Amino acid sequence: MCDPVKLHVSKTLRTKRLAAGLSLGEVSKQTGMSVEKLANYEKDSTGMSTEELQLITSVLKIEFSEVFEGYKLPGAAKTGN
């Protein structure tokens, strides 16, 4: 079973890359990471280092924290009763 945080990060990276109008090949050239590695990270970010994530977010011109936006912790207390 995939970690829900890592799945969220993966989906967000793909969404942000597409929104930036960049192909995997273009991100690969700018990061030095292989297209295969980037494609795998967009499916499952397991194994991605913090440095790699920072590099990818830099190329996508987004803040590091943006990849976590919208993620809700399981069992988090609901507000606004």
> Cα separation of 13 and 67, whole Å?
7
Instruction: State yes or no: pLDDT of 2 exceeds 90.
Output: no
CA 55, distance to chain mean position in Å, is 11
Q: What is the DSSP letter of 77?
A: P
> Cα separation of 19 and 50, whole Å?
22
Domains defined for the chain, CATH in brackets: 4-63 (1.10.260.40)
3-state secondary structure 16-47: HHHHCCCCHHHHHHHHCCCHHHHHHHHHCCCC
pLDDT at 75: 72
Q: Please state the pTM of the whole predicted model.
A: 0.84
pLDDT digits (tens, 9 = 90+) for 51-66: 999 999 999 999 999 9
